[in-house]
Amino acid sequence: KITTELKQIRADSGLSQSALGERVGLPQNHISKIESGKTDPRLSSLIEIARSLGYELMLVPRNKLELIELTLQGKESSQRARWQLDDSEDSDEI
């Protein structure tokens, strides 16, 4: 569920509900209700929350979802591999 994902992203970023609310112009108790599923937020609120956390909401055709997931996984692997190469370049091995 999208609200659960947004809650996790907010928590991982170390942002409180109050701080997120200030960013998007919503009271903390409304952020809490959105995250707990006690209210159905407007689409514009979800978009604003996602963007304030550095994410973008997108509509994806279901028949393209697997391709997008594989593409994202490939990018993560590629980024991880570059980091590992960069890390080993700094080693003191002879």
For 31-86, the pLDDT digits (tens) are 999 999 999 999 999 999 999 999 999 898 999 999 999 998 887 666 555 545 55
pLDDT at 2 over 80: yes
Q: What pLDDT does residue 94 have?
A: 47
Is 2-52 CATH 1.10.260.40? yes
| For the chain, domain boundaries | 2-52, 60-94
Q: What pLDDT does residue 30 have?
A: 97
Q: What pLDDT does residue 91 have?
A: 46
Helix ranges, the chain (H) = 2-12, 17-24, 28-36, 43-52, 62-89
pLDDT at 3 over 80: yes
* Torsional sign, CA 65, 51, 14, 11: negative
